[in-house]
Structure 1
Amino acid sequence: MKRSDLRLLPAATSIWVLAVLGVTAGTAAAVAGGAVLVALALTAVTLAGPGRAAHGIFAHLGIVVLAGALLFPALQRHGQTDAALEDAAAEGLIVALTVTATSDPAAPRSGPEWSRSGLQMRARTVRGAARIGREHIELPASLPLLVRADGGAAEGLSRVRDADTVHLRGAVSISGSLIILRTTEVRPVPPAGAAGSLRSARHTLRAEARATTAHLPADEAALVRGMTSGDTSGLGEETEEIMRRAGIAHLVAVSGETSLNRGGCA
């Protein structure tokens, strides 16, 4: 690795920090963090005086400002969607929205024994029309959430597979930074045309991958499936948390999705 390979590291790190700050603490916090960053950069330029170092700082500052111009509107949309769902949870309103499943439904593996009934799956809200209480709104961004279902709703959720689009109706609750939708109505959206064929092929490949790795320990099988088909179901919570902290959980899923898409297009 050469020194020139690390030239963009300060700017990239700053942008990453601002993005994390905006998602976790809100757009205002990201804007404040950006202002502090600009102030520190200008102070460094003033102290260093004109020269090569000042040119380098200005170059990095320009990259951060350009990225911020794209990042802050996205954070604003994220915050608006998050606020709408938080208000629904606070007021106990019923919501109706569309989500895209990001995992297959499965029985809960943690929590008290009495809370492990029904099914749950990870999903992301779909940008567009939704209803909160009696009010029809537009969700401007996609947010991750956990879908829980019991009874008849669990039977409907069992027919959903990863990447399916689903209309849901239920109540929202907030647990820390996790948005939970306890659904009472599940209506899968049947895919049509080429998208439907591709999705069927995807589910078939994942089923074959699960059968092939069934003899492996659960964590190892989930890692192999994750790298080949993006399916990490069955991965232990402790292992998943370690991977998330190391920043490789997303890379495993992305690698599997890339392999699966190539296989589906072949």
Structure 2
Amino acid sequence: MAESPGGPEAGKRLDLRLVPVVVVAWSAALAGGFVDGVWSAVLAVALGLLGGVFLVAGHRQRPSGVRPGTLFATLALACVLGAAVAVHCAVIAGNREKGPLAPAMAADEGVVVHLLITGSPTLSPAPGHSSDGRWMVDASLIDLTAKGSVVHGTADIVVTGGADWQNVRAGQRVRTTGTLKQVREGQPEAALLNASSAPVVTGSGFDIRQTAAEVRKRFVSAGDWLPPDAAGLLPGMVTGDTSALPESLETAMKTTGMTHLTAVSGANCSLILGGFILLARCFRWARPAAGAFAACGLLAFVIMVGPDPSVLRAAVMGTVGLAALTGGLRGRSLSFLCLATTILLLLDPAMAASVGFLLSVLATLGIVLLAARIASWIPARVPRWLAAGVAVPLSAQLLCGPVIVALQPQFSSFALIANVVAGPLVAPVTIFGTIAVPLAATLPWLAVVPIAVAGICAGLVAGVARFFAGLSGAALPWAEGPVGVVAMVLSSMVTLLAVWMALHLADVKRHAMRLHCAVMVLLDR
């Protein structure tokens, strides 16, 4: 039996009750990242009072007034959660303005800092001189010595330094010198340390991130025998490590809009989660046991690639996207997305100013709202996996396009077709590559086969990127600023309409004939 025109969720109304919650929470987090702690506190109080007003107004409704009561309760919840986000922003701003690092930043003098490394070093290349770039790493303050006095406290710091900092690992305690600078607005860290000396390791403790970094490093080494494109792209597609990615291939992937494949994204997490669910079903486990097994598998994957905020965000969004595609939320995928976004903003308000977070939410929103519907437009004789392979990247691109052109005024002409062609190759790269990661660290000889399979598919993805990037008109200039954003919004709407018309020729013909008859009647009159 063919699907209904609107798809499985066409007859179900969107649950919009949590949309005000995420809008207020995001607005509060965005405002809190660019104002002082006092104003964040004022915003928290104002939202708390407004939430109380809505709550009282809802209680005064008569029993018959169910809808108004629900509306007031939703608005009250939005204000309360927005106030909680504002309080978190006030605490972060207060720690930055009056914390242990504030006097040293105001003096703008050299300091001696004792730090606990909490992240993995990343290269921040200087423009035009990638080899002379500086390394960045996240750390936490242990103590600070300035003007002969020692200050103890807790604060998050971003350290930038020379090549000596590329070897530090999470869990190490290091001592260094440098000057403290203000971070950019919207960043959660208290300060930026411009290190003037190499780190001196004073101690080391167990940190799961350090173990994960060593596992990832061995995985990169295990694929050295692959061709350069495959050897560089495979770690990026599996663990997000692009250190071995050839520069020419990176440029080709940017041109074709495929750079999201070289980072741990919601798609990776969806594949991992779906793989564990299918494995659990093969053993005929009950749904709760299968869900717990899949959640543990996803957690292990997150730990393996590094539990950074971007990875945790991808895991949450991947779970939402998979649930939306499988229909497991019974038409309430949008509510789940709003709830997940609000929780992430409560935990880390700085995500509100992150472009990566915005793109993740928009891509997941596109999957939630459009993917199943677009897939249902495709004729039933087309395999469902192929329909989903076209609908998912198209729906994500339609919503992410305006943000992408705001960052880079360029139109990737072949982005959709390149992602559709490369789509079937992403799953084997992710699954076999993930299997190979722990094997490369424990039993390298067993990792050869999965690395070979994943490497072949990764090489084909690289070939797709290079082929479409080499075509004429692969990257076209686009208008800058608000004009370019509005133009891309209109382009997305026209594209969606064109896709519907191409897949509903009979309906288009019927509507055209009705319009023709209406015009003829009007002219006769």
Please state if 1:203 is matched with 2:220: no
Q: After TM superposition, give the deviation of residue 15 of structure 1 in Å.
A: 1.9
Q: Which amino acid aligns with 2:218?
A: E
1:226–1:260: structure 2 CA closer, same or farther, 3 Å change rule? closer
Secondary structure (helix, strand or coil) at the match of 1:216 reads helix
- Matched residue, 1:111: 127
Distance in 2 between residues matched to 1:259 and 1:40, nearest whole Å: 44
- Matched residue, 2:119: 102
Q: After TM superposition, give the deviation of residue 173 of structure 1 in Å.
A: 2.6
Distance in 1 between residues matched to 2:41 and 2:231, nearest whole Å: 43
Q: Is the 8 A contact 1:118 1:148 kept in 2?
A: no
**Alignment of structure 1 residues 107-186 onto 2, 5 Å:** 108-111=124-127, 113=129, 117=132, 119-126=134-141, 129-143=143-157, 145-149=158-162, 154-155=163-164, 157-161=165-169, 164-174=172-182, 176-177=184-185, 179-183=191-195, 184-186=197-199
- Matched residue, 1:14: 24
Q: After TM superposition, give the deviation of residue 260 of structure 1 in Å.
A: 4.7
Q: Which amino acid aligns with 2:213?
A: H
Q: Is the 8 A contact 1:8 1:60 kept in 2?
A: no
- Matched residue, 1:226: 239
Q: Is the 8 A contact 1:105 1:161 kept in 2?
A: no
Q: Which amino acid aligns with 1:210?
A: V
Q: Is the 8 A contact 1:219 1:234 kept in 2?
A: yes
1:182–1:250: structure 2 CA closer, same or farther, 3 Å change rule? farther
Q: Which amino acid aligns with 1:159?
A: N
Please state if 1:81 is matched with 2:91: no
Q: After TM superposition, give the deviation of residue 222 of structure 1 in Å.
A: 5.8
Q: 1:257 aligns with which of 287, 302, 310?
A: 302
Q: Which amino acid aligns with 1:88?
A: A
Q: After TM superposition, give the deviation of residue 160 of structure 1 in Å.
A: 0.9
TM-score of the superposition, structure 1-length normalised? Answer: 0.63
Distance in 2 between residues matched to 1:259 and 1:164, nearest whole Å: 19
Q: Which amino acid aligns with 1:78?
A: I
- Matched residue, 2:83: 68
Bigger relative contact order, structure 1 or 2 (CA pairs below 8 A, ≥6 apart): 2
Q: Which amino acid aligns with 1:24?
A: F
Q: Deviations over 1:76-128 (max 9, x none)?
A: 4422332254553342223314142423254x423365x964741231334x5
Q: Is the 8 A contact 2:143 2:153 kept in 1?
A: yes
Distance in 2 between residues matched to 1:44 and 1:81, nearest whole Å: 32
Greater helix percent: which structure? 2
- Matched residue, 2:204: 191
Distance in 2 between residues matched to 1:8 and 1:187, nearest whole Å: 50
Higher mean C-alpha displacement, 57-66 vs 37-46: 37-46
Please state if 1:93 is matched with 2:103: no
Q: After TM superposition, give the deviation of residue 39 of structure 1 in Å.
A: 7.0
Q: Deviations over 1:50-93 (max 9, x none)?
A: 34324432344246426634761x43442233225455334222
Gaps of 5+ in 2: 1-8, 270-297, 307-433, 443-525
Distance in 2 between residues matched to 1:233 and 1:62, nearest whole Å: 44
Distance in 1 between residues matched to 2:46 and 2:94, nearest whole Å: 24
1:249–1:200: structure 2 CA closer, same or farther, 3 Å change rule? closer
Q: After TM superposition, give the deviation of residue 204 of structure 1 in Å.
A: 3.2
Q: Which amino acid aligns with 1:98?
A: L
Distance in 2 between residues matched to 1:101 and 1:29, nearest whole Å: 30
Distance in 2 between residues matched to 1:142 and 1:221, nearest whole Å: 32
- Matched residue, 1:58: 73
Distance in 1 between residues matched to 2:216 and 2:232, nearest whole Å: 16
1:199–1:62: structure 2 CA closer, same or farther, 3 Å change rule? closer
Secondary structure (helix, strand or coil) at the match of 2:204 reads coil
Which structure: larger Rg? 2
Q: Is the 8 A contact 2:43 2:86 kept in 1?
A: no
Distance in 2 between residues matched to 1:39 and 1:24, nearest whole Å: 22
1:13–1:141: structure 2 CA closer, same or farther, 3 Å change rule? farther
Q: Deviations over 1:1-58 (max 9, x none)?
A: 6657543332133223322322332333333444555677658997xx8343244323
Q: Is the 8 A contact 1:103 1:163 kept in 2?
A: no
Distance in 2 between residues matched to 1:3 and 1:17, nearest whole Å: 26
Q: After TM superposition, give the deviation of residue 132 of structure 1 in Å.
A: 4.2
Alignment size in residue pairs: 244
Please tell me the root mean square deviation across aligned C-alpha atoms, in Å. 4.8
Q: After TM superposition, give the deviation of residue 162 of structure 1 in Å.
A: 5.1
Gaps of 5+ in 1: none
Q: Is the 8 A contact 1:99 1:168 kept in 2?
A: no
Q: Which amino acid aligns with 1:170?
A: G
Distance in 2 between residues matched to 1:218 and 1:172, nearest whole Å: 39
